[in-house]
Amino acid sequence: MGRNSQRMKMEKGNNLCLWMVLCAFAFSLMSGCATTSKSLGPETTSKIKKLGLVMVLQDNQLRVFDHTGVSQKTYGGFMFGAIGGALEGIAKAVETNIRIRSSLGGDPNALIKELGEYHIEEIFGEELVNKLSGKYVIVNTDRFVNELKDTKKGQKLKVEDYLDACRRCEADTLLKIDFNYGLAAYAREKSSAAIVVNLSVYDVATKSLVMKKQILSDQYFKRSRVIPDFSANGAELYKKDIPEIVNVLSIIVARDFGLNIAMPQVDQTLQARKAFNEFPDELSTLSFACNKPYKIGQDCSIWGAAKRTIKIKERNIRVAGSDDGMIILVMDKSFADDESVFTCFELVREELLSKGINVVKVVKMVTRGKVRGCILELDGDGYSILKNYSVD
């Protein structure tokens, strides 16, 4: 009896573990299916007639954004247990603080003082209306939102409240822009004026979220300055950079809504070239294969070359991708030079960025000191997007 009882307990335990695993698997599938799009397709934009725009400035004060990347580093402290991990955390915090102070080159309060009362939400909102009104009727929700704020008596408004405001002013779609503005600080370069946007789009009738993504302005616009530069002459340079940033961000949002507006070329190209050159990783083309050092399962030849040809802005580019689409091999024609590979990289990068996919790492493929191609690591499935540009 004792053995039978013990065996029954073990079987119950195994069944419970199996049930938990199946539940976790089912939950992961449900979570995957619920993933919100990072861009709006024509089937969605064609249904939008009246767009309710809501601008929410999360913090009325200028903020400093940590773009040093120190938190992603490791000193190997975790190998020495909890104490080592704690010491590594302290070391990262110290290094982050040093890097930020060096990048800023001054006290942010000096810039805050010179800015004074700065109505950035009005500047941003006006630019968005100018861009989006080229295709949609932009409905002013301010009156109804202010009425709700008075009713709520200081309580934070929820998405349902903004949707209610849109219904009252007969908008069919809600575009909610939550944002902060300030300075982005870097590990080895001067800071830049920056805006961080969290963009959400809702169908008012169904209350469903149809698009959600974050936009970091310094991925598109970066002008290196220190605080003494920014704060001089009544913050003249900061007030000059912010409208340019707002213009770029408004174009990105407008393109998400199906408007064909070109990005500013000069700053964008310079920024892309700098980003390309700042990634130090290289590998020999002779050591590359479709299964190493990355698994390139889509459109990769046995010789380790990209087989699929896509066309972006009249330029043919050869690409291949990993099964999950988050690793992309980008190549030009055979025996391409550094400049042509960079051009291909920039076109691919621009298109992916416009769809909410960021390049987080670049590995250059080099033969005899010449760049013959590059491998891009992304934060989402970019290859599925690129395949839409395939040339038969």
**Residue that is written with structure tokens 């993504």 in the block:** 213
The pLDDT assigned to 175 comes to: 95
The pLDDT assigned to 107 comes to: 95
The pLDDT assigned to 296 comes to: 93
Q: Enter the pTM of the model.
A: 0.62
Q: What's the mean pLDDT in 41-70?
A: 89
Domain 50-261: assigned CATH number: 3.30.160
Q: Is the pLDDT of residue 22 over 60?
A: no
The pLDDT assigned to 274 comes to: 67
Q: Is the pLDDT of residue 191 over 50?
A: yes
The pLDDT assigned to 334 comes to: 63
Spans of all domains in the chain: 50-261, 272-389
Confidence of residue 80 (pLDDT cuts 50, 70, 90): low
Confidence of residue 128 (pLDDT cuts 50, 70, 90): very high
Q: What's the mean pLDDT in 284-297?
A: 88
Q: What's the mean pLDDT in 185-195?
A: 91
Tokens of 68: 């040093």
Q: What is the C-alpha to C-alpha distance for residues 127 and 139, in angstroms, rounded to an integer? A: 14
Q: What's the mean pLDDT in 214-224?
A: 87
Tokens of 41: 């397709």
Q: Is the pLDDT of residue 193 over 80?
A: yes
Confidence of residue 265 (pLDDT cuts 50, 70, 90): low
Confidence of residue 17 (pLDDT cuts 50, 70, 90): very low
Q: What is the C-alpha to C-alpha distance for residues 254 and 116, in angstroms, rounded to an integer? A: 30
DSSP-derived pairing of the beta strands 173-185 and 50-57: parallel
The pLDDT assigned to 24 comes to: 41
Q: Which residue has the higher pLDDT, 32 or 365?
A: 365
The pLDDT assigned to 23 comes to: 43
Q: Give exposure, 185-204, as e/b (b: 16+ Cβ within 10 Å).
A: bbbeebbbbbbbbebbbbbb
The pLDDT assigned to 328 comes to: 95
Closest CA to 191 of 74, 114, 107: 107
- Give residues with Cβ within 8 angstroms of 150, minimum separation 6: none
Q: What's the mean pLDDT in 348-370?
A: 83
Closest CA to 131 of 249, 268, 269: 249
Q: What's the mean pLDDT in 336-360?
A: 80
Q: What is the C-alpha to C-alpha distance for residues 140 and 381, in angstroms, rounded to an integer? A: 35
Q: How many residues does this entry show for the chain?
A: 392
Instruction: Report the 10 Å Cβ neighbour count for 14.
Output: 10
Give the model confidence (pLDDT) of 241-258 as tens digits.
999 999 999 999 999 998
Percent of the chain with pLDDT strictly greater than 90: 43
Q: Is the pLDDT of residue 231 over 60?
A: yes
Confidence of residue 287 (pLDDT cuts 50, 70, 90): confident
3-state secondary structure of 209: strand
DSSP 282-328: EEEGGG-BTTBSS---BSB-TTS-B-EEEEETTEEEEEEE-TTS-EE
Rounded to the nearest integer, the mean pLDDT of the chain is 82
Closest CA to 36 of 198, 248, 160: 198
Q: What is the C-alpha to C-alpha distance for residues 303 and 321, in angstroms, rounded to an integer? A: 15
Closest CA to 315 of 334, 296, 341: 341
Q: Is the pLDDT of residue 364 over 50?
A: yes
Q: Give exposure, 140-149, as e/b (b: 16+ Cβ within 10 Å).
A: ebeebbeebe
The pLDDT assigned to 104 comes to: 95
Sign of dihedral through CA atoms 239, 244, 249, 250? positive
Q: What is the C-alpha to C-alpha distance for residues 21 and 375, in angstroms, rounded to an integer? A: 35
Confidence of residue 52 (pLDDT cuts 50, 70, 90): very high
Q: Is the pLDDT of residue 261 over 60?
A: yes
The pLDDT assigned to 131 comes to: 94
